[in-house]
Amino acid sequence: MASTLVKTILDVIHNWAEGLAQQWGIPHLFVSIAAWIAAFVFVIVLVLLMVLLAVYLERKVSGAIQSRLGPMRVGPIGLFQTPMDALKILTKEDIVPRDADKILHTAGPVIFFVTAVIGYVVIPWDRAAIAAQVVDLNIGVLFVIAVSSIGVLGIMAGGWGSNNKYALLGAMRAVAQMVSYEVALLLAIVCVVMQTGSLSLAGITADQGGSLLQWNLLRWWMWPALLLYIIASIGESKRIPFDIPEAESELVAGYHTEYSGMKFGFFFLGEYAHLFIIAVTGAILFLGGWHSPLPATMADPIPGFIWLMGKALAVILIMMWIRWTLPRLRVDQLMNFAWKGLVPLGFVAIAVTGLAIGLGLAGGGG
Amino acid sequence: MALEYGPVGLFVLGGFVFAIVALVISYIIRPADTYDRKLIPYECGIVPSTAAWHRVRIGYYIIALLFLIFEVEAAFLFPWATVLRKLSGTPGWGLLPLAEMGIFLGILLLGLIYAWRKGDLQWN
């Protein structure tokens, strides 16, 4: 109901804009560009809001797990704490070390942040309303992974540009780790692609439509891939127990040791934007995207967008739960785990999914 | 169609514009009170004796090679994965597409086992 209403409103706006453009003789391209700009504003606002929410949740969840309250003072139940922190970080002095490479030092966080944002361009937010998906690239899921792995360059630029030993060590570790866990992540995604027969995120979502039983989460032959995706995505987003690049007890703060003010803010923002896109992608790959878990015969008053956000938040909460429960791995354990544990598991996952499909369990002719 | 990638370009541009605008705003409203001590790279309070730009250990070389191999493998895997279900459902094909990729992955797996036995996966 609500989603059709939203779609109708968007359609009216879209038709109005198209009509206006025709009346004034503006080329169609400009209308498209205006729509893209609107989509970009939507995405950036959404990402900023989700980052604020995720940081707030992180503090509250860690508080709950450690029998504390978390932030309580600023605003009701501490709700304004993170917006205030964001304002504070904007007004803080920017300290660039004396011998640093100033260009790389600035470029690092900016690249890291930008690469975390680009991936959102292919996310299908809701069923086909116009702003629902900015563009449906036919390589969708590959695009998300490819773009977010460019973020490694930002970390390396920042770590190297700082001219600080801790920062360099942290950056080197981050590169080795992200590169290794990306292999495992790719193997998990291959399994999903085998099942859904599409690389486009809209196609992957469409394959899981119909009912709850169509979700990849409830197909048992996808479970090795699911396990692999959860572990590898935590490793890819560098969170405890895989937060070796910024292990406080060894490396001060890792690659962002020499960062302060808004540049640090961009590393922070990028990290949570990265976390959010991994959660959203996970929700699309395994939890049916914007599809509602209710049976198709029931009226669903909640728009698909809200379902997708809810699923993404559930994934984020699981990652937080893991973060505040498990201790940190050592650097050699971390790398060995990636290559000796996750990569073989990836082969097993492909074999299980492949056999299930080959033997006709998955339903042929997708 | 090339226009499909228009929004991607716009997102790249928009991301940079957002970042630069935020940095400029921060530049305008933040204090700038630096002195020599503050600008020393942080090494737990000790004045650093050397610059941090050192050579990189060899361990990364092996990991980078392995990464490259697996990324190329992924490039082969994805096109196969997209058509697997359709092919398996086609009469007369059955497990054949799976077996073909199984041979390819088997060779790759042998390589991984070789690297494992040689101790190249050991991070130390």
Please provide the DSSP assignment of B19-87 as one string.
HHHHHHHHHHHS-----GGGGSPPSTTSPPSS-S--PPPTHHHHHHHHHHHHHHHHHHHHHHHHHHHHH
Confidence of residue A90 (pLDDT cuts 50, 70, 90): confident
Top pLDDT among A150 and A241 is at A150
Return the pLDDT at A91: 86
B4 to chain A, closest Cα gap in Å = 7
Task: Write the pLDDT tens digit of every residue in A281-303.
Answer: 998 888 887 777 776 666 667 77
CB A59 within 8 A of CB A49: no
Enumerate domains of chain B plus CATH numbers. 2-118 (1.20.58.1610)
Helices (H), chain A: 2-24, 28-65, 81-90, 102-118, 140-161, 165-196, 201-207, 223-236, 248-251, 261-286, 304-323, 331-336, 343-358
Please give the full DSSP string across A125-136, using - where no structure is assigned.
-SSS-GGG-S--
Distance CA B73, CA B67 (A): 10
Quickly tell me which residue has 């630096």 as its tokens.
B34
| Pairwise CB contact (< 8 Å): A37 & B56 | no
| The pair of three-digit structure tokens given for residue B119, joined into one six-digit string | 């101790």
A161 to chain B, closest Cα gap in Å = 9
pLDDT over threshold 50, residue B121: yes
Residues of A in contact with B51 (CB under 8 A): 99, 163
Top pLDDT among A266 and A252 is at A266
B44 to chain A, closest Cα gap in Å = 8
| Pairwise CB contact (< 8 Å): B52 & A198 | no
A358 to chain B, closest Cα gap in Å = 5
Distance CA A132, CA B3 (A): 18
Residue among A89, A145, A103, A144 nearest A266 (CA): A89
Return the pLDDT at A131: 46
Mutate to test the interface with B, among A357, A359, A361 (most CBs of B within 10 A): A357
ipTM for the assembly: 0.81
Return the pLDDT at A296: 67
CB A56 within 8 A of CB A78: yes
Task: Write the pLDDT tens digit of every residue in A195-242.
Answer: 888 888 888 887 787 777 778 787 888 888 888 998 888 888 877 777
User: Three-state DSSP class for A198?
Assistant: coil
Report the chain B residue with the minimal C-alpha distance to residue A167. Answer: B52
Most trustworthy range by pLDDT among A47-56, B31-40, B45-54: A47-56
Return the pLDDT at A223: 86
| Pairwise CB contact (< 8 Å): A163 & B34 | no
Distance CA A58, CA A183 (A): 27
Cβ pairs bridging A and B (under 8 Å): 222
Task: Write the pLDDT tens digit of every residue in A302-361.
Answer: 777 888 888 899 999 988 888 888 888 887 888 888 888 888 898 889 888 888 887 777
pTM for this one? Answer: 0.85
